[in-house]
Chains A and B, each alone.
Chain A
Amino acid sequence: MRVETREQDSVLILKIHGKMMGGPEATTFQETIKQHVAEGYRKFIFDLGEVDWMNSSGLGSLIGGLTTIKNAGGELKLAAVTEKIHSLFLITKLVTIFESYDTVDEALNSFPAGK
């Protein structure tokens, strides 16, 4: 798992690559989110288009991220959720927990402008 981060219109976009399988990388990921929240970021997009697969630890990372961001009064949107990940959301009933968009642009546009 590798994470590329960029900022656009005060939204932080984290593009995740590879396998979200847990282990040391999952811990780092949670710390990274906390750090960005501490830096003052409140609007996040996780771009999942380049994720090869994820397991229950990967789902845990997404929920952990969501909780950190929400507790700070922020918002998280998912973008480019693959069919495979979507099927995991369905069987785990997480589909109602996350706000998902087909593309990063759509996710960006869903944030209210000028805040």
Chain B
Amino acid sequence: MPLKKVGELSVPSTLDHLADVDQFTEGLFRNLALPREILDDVAISISEAVNNAMVHGNKLDPARKVLIRFYVCSRYLRLVVRDQGTGFQPETVPDPRQEQNLLKTSGRGLLIMRHLMDRVTFQPRRGGMQIVMDKYCPQDCYGGTERNCA
């Protein structure tokens, strides 16, 4: 099965919408034959990317939207999160694992996304930052035996 868009959601940049995004994600992927573990990794990573898009990208301006697009092929799931901010340079973000950062209450989102997903790429776009996250399915994402993603 080639990479196919299976869903799209646009939400205003206020944190009370985080729960809506999570419900949408659950509903969308529940039908696929995925282990709970994979679903949780995806849900956590989306929550990180959307939180960042709302807070850092869109500065919690309700007029600015976060766009989340969901793709599936037989080998992996792809999540694309886009904001309307000015972007950032991931290499310049401080390492939360350093001693002096350990007791800070924030700064771990990117680390967690990179740990839980198999590939995370940051793509500056005109009019906003875009994050693409891929997660491989242990078997065919649709529960079959096909492994094609062309």
Contact = CB atoms under 8 A, between A and B. Distances in A.
A54 B105 CA distance: 14
| Residue in B104, B105, B115 whose Cβ sees the most chain A Cβ within 10 Å | B105
Which of under 10, 10 to 19, 20 to 34, or 35 or more describes the interface residues of A? 20 to 34
Interface stretch (A2-10, A38-46, A58-66, A99-107): A58-66
A56 B106 contact: yes
A53 B15 contact: no
Contact of B104 (A21, A52, A63): A63
Given A21-B47, A22-B51, A60 B105 contact: yes
A55 B44 contact: yes
A88 to B, nearest CB: 7
Nearest to B43: A53
Given A21-B19, A22-B15, A22-B18, A91 B105 contact: no
Chain A at the B interface: mostly helix, strand, loop or mixed?
Answer: helix
A21 B106 contact: no
Nearest to B46: A55
A24 interface: yes
Q: Give the one of B15, B47, B48 with max A CB within 10 A.
A: B47
B16 A24 contact: yes
Given A84-B40, A92-B96, A93-B97, A23 B112 contact: no
B46 to A, nearest CB: 9
A97 interface: yes
A31 B126 CA distance: 40
A57 interface: yes
Interface string B36-48: 0100100110011
Interface of B: 15-16, 18-19, 22, 37, 40, 43-44, 47-48, 51, 96-97, 102-109, 111-112, 115
Given A21-B47, A52-B40, A57-B51, 19 more contacts: A21-B22, A22-B18, A23-B19, A24-B16, A53-B44, A55-B48, A56-B106, A56-B109, A56-B111, A57-B106, A60-B106, A60-B108, A61-B105, A64-B105, A67-B105, A84-B40, A91-B115, A92-B108, A97-B103
